[in-house]
Chain A
Amino acid sequence: MSSPYLRRRITNALAMVLSTLATMVGLAFLAWILWETLRQGISALDLKLFTKITAYGEDGGLANAMVGSLIINFIGIAIATPIGVLAGTWLAEYADRTKLGESIRFLNDILLSAPSIVMGLFVYTIIVLPTTVLTHGSTTFSGFAGGVALALIALPVIVRTTDEMLRLVPSTLREAALSLGVPQWKLTLQILIRAARSGIITGVLLALARISGETAPLLFTAFGNNYMAINPIEKMSSLPQIIYQYANDPGDSMHALAWAGAFVITMFVLLLSLASRLILSRTKVSHD
């Protein structure tokens, strides 16, 4: 065997081993993180997590944080979904290949990975500060402000999936409707969005998965609250914020509560991404 040939063989074998190793390293870290979250989370699971509030400290649970997370996420999705779907529709149906459309599509992709903490500060400036001034300090941080911050993070996800899903709808559908004299707005609302419905729902689920673990933007908007708050104009606790607070606490029992919260969030996010995958794979089959 000639030596350059041998060298090439060795280089190749080495590269193959290294690339396999890289994949195994990635998978190993995934397994390590999930395993720790499951192990520590399950051992900390307790009924009081769901019944008691955080005001009791280490004897308490996470009930107010869970309720707060649900409310804030709901506000975020409720704001981002209509805006995101309509904006995505505009990009796909009205502004495709126009200059403004292309730039907004491009900027939306940037917003998709913009630092979430800056979005938190933005909402702090436009909602928390004005309400503080207008109410003379009686309303400062609020669950609503947290919801708006999360909406800004969910928005680009929904815009993008709506845009992509609408562009997958066959143009024969549009032509058929238009030839029957259906106005374009009716075509868009009643036919195209319906045809792309499952894809759009997937986008909303992905956005929900994305925001339900967000912590940074909530620190200066919803702030946190050790008591049960239902009214969105009050300060509101959320699971990620409580995890952040408890993990930085020196007490071990607080850490256990933080792990329990981490476990709940991780399960929620994994279930969401599983659900969105299922919906998407089902639609792919039905389109074929």
Chain B
Amino acid sequence: MPVNQAALPTDILEQRSHRDARHERLFRWLLKGCALIVLAALLGAAGATLWGGREAFSTFGWHFLVSSAWDPGNDVYGALVPVYGTIATSFIALLIAVPVSFGIAVYLSEVAPAWLRTPVASAIELLAGIPSIIYGMWGLFVFAPFFANHIKPWLTSNLGNKPDDGKLSWVAEHVPFVGKLFGSDYPFGASILVAGIVLAIMIIPFISSVMREVFQTVPTRLKESAYALGSSTWEVSWDIVLPYTRSAVIGGVFLGLGRALGETMAVTFVLGNAMQLSASLLDPGTSIASTIANQFSEASGLQKSSLMALAFLLFVVTFIVLLIARLMLRQLARKEGH
């Protein structure tokens, strides 16, 4: 039957192409659905914490943000103390981590001999892979006691307004604020300053690896022209490389800030977990993340809701910081593309 023989292949082919089109559509929807889960995770996290914190927001209103009360006995809660702790520790961390990371990036891209660059860079990146709880333990058992024994006495007696021997140093007497910042009669190491230092060590590998990466995007001819005009290595780094990569460097710094703001474990161990507002960096404090970690499992009612509200604040702030970071980093990627 010649007719059938001719019809069969086209029939099969048609069926097949229909089937392929159907599979193709299904496959696309499956992939798209998976990608949308990323979106759902972000929206869900914001929504869940906002919903969980609705009671706290409706009870305290805007007062929640500026109140330093945290009193489970009277069921009154305010975000100021943990917010202050989060900002203070992150700020200290940036103050230390940004110059150190810049130094590392300059060293790795301009100073170090070529054979040393890759091993040193991988070693620094290894720091980024260490889990934060290890930083926390090291901070609690090793660094905080070391700080309390060797660094803190010097700080309190030379800079603080509460020295052990009662004699105020020249700095504490004549420079405003410094005395308050370093005055403390708290005997242990755990404090806002120590938490800031541990955070700095944690975010240095993030910031320095972004800086190093973007420094490598600077066109060689730009650097070589500067060298040919007699610039020193430092002048090339500071006047050529840094301006060229400025937005991405800021992006890297914000990326580190985002990490520092949301970090829980490393901070919880070394912050002392005291619900108090103290001007001194050597006194214990608390942060948003560590307050949640410490209290959430035993909290109920309005306290739980307040913790959820804190989490919402943290999420929104880190989201904005990370948004800025990524936008800044994208600018350089665009520049590279041209």
Closest to B314 in A: A115
Indicate whether B332 reaches chain A with its CB closer than 8 angstroms: no
Contact B234 A240, beta carbon cutoff 8 Å: no
Chain B: residues with Cβ within 8 Å of the partner, total of: 88
Contact B48 A122, beta carbon cutoff 8 Å: yes
Contact B259 A117, beta carbon cutoff 8 Å: no
**Measuring CB to CB, which residues of chain B are less than 8 angstroms from any residue of chain A?**
20, 23-24, 27-28, 30-32, 34-39, 41-42, 44-45, 48-49, 51-52, 99-104, 106-108, 110-112, 120, 122-124, 126-127, 129-138, 140-142, 201, 204-205, 208, 232-235, 237-238, 255, 258-259, 261-265, 268-269, 289, 292-293, 296-297, 308, 311, 314-315, 318-319, 322-323, 326, 330
A258 CA / B138 CA spacing, docked (Å): 11
Residues in B neighbouring A15, C-beta threshold 8 A = 106, 233-234, 237-238
Residues in A neighbouring B269, C-beta threshold 8 A = 247-248
Contact B130 A266, beta carbon cutoff 8 Å: yes
Contact A122 B49, beta carbon cutoff 8 Å: yes
Contact A115 B262, beta carbon cutoff 8 Å: yes
Residues in A neighbouring B330, C-beta threshold 8 A = 106
Give A194-237 as 1s and 0s: 1 = Cβ < 8 Å from B's Cβ atoms: 00000000000000010011111001100100000000000000
**Measuring CB to CB, which residues of chain A are less than 8 angstroms from any residue of chain B?**
8-9, 11-12, 15-16, 18-23, 25-27, 29-30, 32-34, 36-37, 40, 82-84, 86-87, 89-91, 93-95, 101, 104, 106-111, 113-119, 121-122, 125-126, 152, 155-156, 159, 183-185, 188-189, 209, 212-216, 219-220, 223, 240, 243-244, 247-248, 255, 258-259, 262, 265-266, 269-270, 273, 277
A188 CA / B30 CA spacing, docked (Å): 13
Residues in A neighbouring B258, C-beta threshold 8 A = 113
Contact A214 B104, beta carbon cutoff 8 Å: no
A223 CA / B298 CA spacing, docked (Å): 12
Residues in A neighbouring B122, C-beta threshold 8 A = 277
Contact B293 A111, beta carbon cutoff 8 Å: no
A117 CA / B294 CA spacing, docked (Å): 12
